[in-house]
Amino acid sequence: MKTIAIPKDGLEGFKQNWTADAVSGFMVFLLALPLSLGIAKASEFPPAMGVLTAMVGGLFVSFFAGSKLTIKGPAAGLITICAGAVTELGGGAEGWKLALGVIVVASIIQIGFGYLKIGSLSDFFPHSAVHGMLAAIGLIIFSKQIHILLGIDPALLKGKEPLELFQMIPDSIIHEDPRVTFIGILSLVIIFGLPLLKGKFAKKIPAPLVVLLVTIPLALVMDFKHTEPAFDMVSIGDFWGTLGLNADFSAIGSLVFWKYVIMFLFVNSLESLLTVKAIDGLDPWKRISNPNKDLMAVGAGNALSGLLGGLPMISEVARSSANISFGARTKWSNFFHGFFLLVAMLFFIPVIEMIPNTALAALLIAVAFRLASPNEFFKTYKIGSEQLFIFTVTIIVTVSTDLLIGVAAGILMKFFFHVLNGVPLRSLFKAHYELSVQADEYFIKIKESAIFSNLLGFRKAFEPLDRRKKIVVDFSEAHFMDHSFMEYLHHLEEECAYAGGSLVSVGFDRFKPFSNHPLASRKFSLEHQNKIEIKLSPRQLELRKFAENNEWTYYPQKARIALKYKDFPLHNGHKIPFEENILFKYVEHARLEASDITLIEGARQSQQEFQITIIQASETNILIPDFALEPEGLWSKLFESVSGKDIDFDNHPKFSEKYYLRGNNESAVRHFFTEPILQFLENREDMHIECHRNRLIFYKKRTLLEPSEILYTAKFAEDFISLIYQKEAQAV
C-alpha cells in the first residue's frame, strides 16, 4: 500500500513514480496499439496514422495536459466523422489529406475555446442525448466492421449508408470467407470471454493483447499473406517516409469542409471534457483537472497530428480507465504509453503487418457493443423512462441522418419534456436563486427549475464558494430538477466532503422522483409531501430476519457516502457512492458494521457497477498500522513494484505464500503481525483485510454475501480483533 500523499508533478513526479507510470504506460500501450490501428483503418486513414495520433498524444500532449491520468489518442467515437470527411472530400489519399486540413482548422478553434474558458459548456448537453449519440456511433461502427470480420472486400462497402450496410449483412454471411471468419469469431470469443474468467489476473490482462498473441500465429500458420487477399491483412507501408506536412487546405471554401469542422469540434471537445470529468472521479487522490487547459492541450495535439497525417485525438475513456486500474500516478503514464508506441513503430512494423484485419474488426465490434450495449439502454431507463425516450430518439435520428441532427433532436426532446413538466420558458436558460452568507455557512435557495440548459448559471453561483465550509441548498421554492442538475449536485457534494466541508440539501421531501435512481429527475408533488414508503426487496427481508435472529440492528435505506472509505485500498481506482443494508452491533472490543457498498469501476461507457458486502470494525481504541492484506496471486507478483512491496515472514512460509501483505511502515506492520495473528490467518479461509487510521474492513469476495457468510466474516473480524487486544495486553 503506497503512501497516500498526492504524487508530485514534473521531473520530481517522474523520479518519484516512474516505475508505476512506466508499468501502467506499457499495459495501456498493449491496449492502444491494436485499437489505434483499427480505429484509423475504419476511419479511412492509413492504419499507422492511428498509432501516430496516440504517439503525439503521449509524447507531446502529456506535457501540457490539464488532467493527470487521462490517456490521449484516437477514439472510436470519431470514426464516423473521419470516414465521412474522407469520403465526402474525394476519398483515397486526396480525401485523407483534405480531411487533415479540416482537423487542423478545427484544432485551432479548439485551442481558442480552451483559451476563452468555455470548457464548462459541456454541461449544456444532456447526458441522455450524448449517450444516445455514442450508442448510434456504436451501431454505425458495427454496420461496417461486421462485414470486415467476415472477410468482405472493403471496396464493396464504400459509399454505403449505415442502414444499407445493415441490409447487406445476410448477403455478407452467405459470401463470408470461412478462414477469415474463424479468426474474427475467435477474437470475439477472447474479447468477451476473458472478462468472464474468475480471478483478478484474468480480468487485468488486456484482451487486445491476447487477441494479437492468438491471431498473429494463426494467420502465419494459415499463410494469410499468400492465400488471402491483401485487404485481409494490416498494411503499414513506408510509415516514416509518409510523415510530413500532409494537410491540404484547398477545400476550405466549401460547405462540406466547414460541416466537418463543426462536427469534429463538437464531438471531439465534448467527448474529451466529459472523459476528463469522469476520470477525475476515479483518481485515487481526487485531483481536480483544469478542463480548459486540457482542451487547449488536446487542440494543440490535434493540430500537430493533423499536420503530420494523424487522426484527431481525445481523452479516451477506456484507455484512461485502464490506466488507473494499472496503477498510474501521474501524467508520465500517458508519456510512457506514447514512448512504447514509438518503439513499436521503430522496430516492430514487420510484426504489426502480420495482424489480420478481421482481428481489428473484432476489437472495433467490441467497442461498438460497449457503446450501444443493452446495458446502456437499461442504465438510461433506470434513471427515468423519459431519459430512455430521449436516448432512443437520438439514436434513431443519428443513424438515419448525421450526428449533429441527432444530438439536436435529443436536446429538443429534452426541452419538450421539461416544458411538459411545467418548466416556465423564463427558466429554460436562466438560473433563478438567492445566495446569502451567515457566519461560516452559505445558503442558496433554488427557485423555479434547475435543469441542464440553465446549469451554467448555477455553476457560476456555486464555483466561488469555499468547499471547506457548509453549503445549505434549499429547494423549498423549487418546482423541478432534472438528471443533469442532480448529477452536478452529487459531484459538488463529493467535492465539499473531500475538501473538509459539507453540502446539505433541504426540501427534497416535497419532490417525487421519476424513478428509484438517486439522481433521477424530480418534480414538486403535493401528494408526495410527508409520504414515506419503504418497500423491502427479498434480500432486505432476508437481512432483516438475520438481524432479528442474531442481535444486529438493521437499516435498509440507501445512503450516499463520500469519505467513509477514503484512502482504503478498496477505494483506489473506484468510486464508492452508496451503501445500503447496514447491519451493526457492538462486540467486546469494537463496533462491527456490515453493509452492501456500490463499487464503480471505469467511467462512462467503460463503467461497471457492482456491489460487495464488507464488515467494518471501528472504535477499537488501539493503535494499528495502516496495511492491506489480500490472497496472493500472479497479478500481485507482477505489480508488486506498483502496489507496494510484499512483506513476507521467513518463519511463516505458509502465510507468505498465501497472502500479499503491504503497508507504508514495514517495521510497524511486522511488529503488528505477531505469531498468533500469523497462525490465525494461516488456518482460516482467505480474507481481504485493510486497515486505515485504526479502522479495519474485512471482505471475503467482491460480491454480495449471504447471511451465513456475513456471520462467518463478522466472527472472523471479532476473533482477529481479540487477538490484537491479547497482543496489547501481553505487551503491557
**Is the pLDDT higher at 298 or at 636?**
298
Cβ neighbours, 10 Å, residue 351: 11
Percent of the chain with pLDDT over 90: 60
pLDDT in tens, 496-508: 888 888 898 888 7
Query: What pLDDT score was predicted for residue 1?
Result: 43
Concatenating the DSSP letter of every residue in 587-649 gives -SS-EEEEEEEEEEES-GGG-EEEEEEEEEEE---S----EEEEE--HHHHHTHHHH------
Query: What pLDDT score was predicted for residue 574?
Result: 78
pLDDT in tens, 367-399: 999 889 998 899 899 899 999 999 999 999 999
Query: What pLDDT score was predicted for residue 26?
Result: 93
Query: What pLDDT score was predicted for residue 84?
Result: 93
Round the CA-based radius of gyration of the chain to a whole number and report it.
Answer: 27
Write out the three cell numbers for 425: 420558458
- CA 339-345-346 angle, 5° bins: 90
Beta bridge partners of 691: 627, 696
- CA 636-637-640 angle, 5° bins: 80
Confidence category of residue 558, pLDDT binned at 50, 70, 90? confident
Query: What pLDDT score was predicted for residue 67?
Result: 92
Q: To which H or E segment does residue 574 belong?
A: strand 574-575
Query: What pLDDT score was predicted for residue 715?
Result: 94
Q: Is 254 left (phi over 0), alpha (psi -120 to 50) or beta?
A: beta
Confidence category of residue 529, pLDDT binned at 50, 70, 90? low
**Is the pLDDT higher at 343 or at 495?**
343
Query: What pLDDT score was predicted for residue 702?
Result: 84
State the number of CA atoms in the 13 A half-sphere of 642 facing the CB: 24
Q: What is the mean pLDDT of residues 279-305?
A: 90
- The answer, yes or no, to whether residue 683 has pLDDT greater than 50, is yes
70, 320 contact by CB (below 8 A): yes
The one-letter amino acid code at 516 reads: N
Query: What pLDDT score was predicted for residue 568?
Result: 85
By residue count, the chain amounts to 732
Cβ neighbours, 10 Å, residue 723: 15
As a dihedral over the C-alpha atoms of residue 131, residue 137, residue 138, residue 142, rounded to 10 degrees, the angle is 170
Q: What are phi and psi of 699, to 5 degrees?
A: -150, 140
**Is the pLDDT higher at 609 or at 141?**
141
How far apart are the C-alpha atoms of 53 and 74, rounded to whole Å? 6
If DSSP codes are grouped into helix, strand and coil, which group holds residue 125?
coil
pLDDT in tens, 159-196: 888 999 999 999 999 999 999 999 999 999 999 998 87
Confidence category of residue 262, pLDDT binned at 50, 70, 90? very high
- The answer, yes or no, to whether residue 731 has pLDDT greater than 70, is no
365, 211 contact by CB (below 8 A): no
- The answer, yes or no, to whether residue 560 has pLDDT greater than 90, is no
- Helix 127-149 with 403-420: angle, nearest 10 deg: 150
172, 315 contact by CB (below 8 A): no
How far apart are the C-alpha atoms of 323 and 24, rounded to whole Å? 6
- CA dist 167 → 153, 155, 370, 687 (Å): 16, 17, 22, 53
**Is the pLDDT higher at 97 or at 77?**
97
From 422-436, 455-469, 557-571, the region with the lowest mean pLDDT: 557-571
Beta bridge partners of 599: 610
Q: SS in 3 state form for 9-62?
A: CHHHHHHHHHHHHHHHHHHHHHHHHHHHHHHHHHCCCCCHHHHHHHHHHHHCHH
Concatenating the DSSP letter of every residue in 392-431 gives HHHHHHHHHS-HHHHHHHHHHHHHHHHHHTT--GGGSS--
Confidence category of residue 454, pLDDT binned at 50, 70, 90? very high
How far apart are the C-alpha atoms of 600 and 675, rounded to whole Å? 37
Mean pLDDT of the chain: 89
How far apart are the C-alpha atoms of 83 and 96, rounded to whole Å? 9
Confidence category of residue 284, pLDDT binned at 50, 70, 90? confident
How far apart are the C-alpha atoms of 437 and 468, rounded to whole Å? 14
697, 568 contact by CB (below 8 A): yes
How far apart are the C-alpha atoms of 279 and 331, rounded to whole Å? 13
Query: What pLDDT score was predicted for residue 295?
Result: 94
Q: SS in 3 state form for 234-300?
A: CCCCCHHHHCCCCCCCCCCCCHHHHHHHHHHHHHHHHHHHHHHHHHHHHCCCCCCCCHHHHHHHHHH
State the number of CA atoms in the 13 A half-sphere of 40 facing the CB: 28
pTM value?
0.83
List all residues 6 or more positions away from 430 whose beta carbon is below 8 Å from its beta carbon: 454, 457
- The answer, yes or no, to whether residue 530 has pLDDT greater than 60, is no
pLDDT in tens, 616-675: 998 888 888 999 998 886 555 555 555 678 888 989 999 988 999 988 889 999 999 999
- The answer, yes or no, to whether residue 203 has pLDDT greater than 80, is no
Place of cell 451567515: 438
Query: What pLDDT score was predicted for residue 2?
Result: 43
Percent of the chain with pLDDT over 70: 95
Q: What is the mean pLDDT of residues 464-485?
A: 92
pLDDT in tens, 31-59: 899 999 999 999 999 999 999 999 999 99
Concatenating the DSSP letter of every residue in 305-352 gives HHHHT----EEEHHHHHHHHHTT--STHHHHHHHHHHHHHHHH-HHHH
- The answer, yes or no, to whether residue 4 has pLDDT greater than 60, is no
- The answer, yes or no, to whether residue 273 has pLDDT greater than 50, is yes
Q: Is 75 left (phi over 0), alpha (psi -120 to 50) or beta?
A: beta
- Give all domains of the chain, ordered by start, each with its CATH number: 10-176+230-348+386-404 (no CATH), 425-524 (3.30.750.24), 538-731 (no CATH)
Write out the three cell numbers for 3: 503512501
State the number of CA atoms in the 13 A half-sphere of 671 facing the CB: 10
If DSSP codes are grouped into helix, strand and coil, which group holds residue 436?
strand
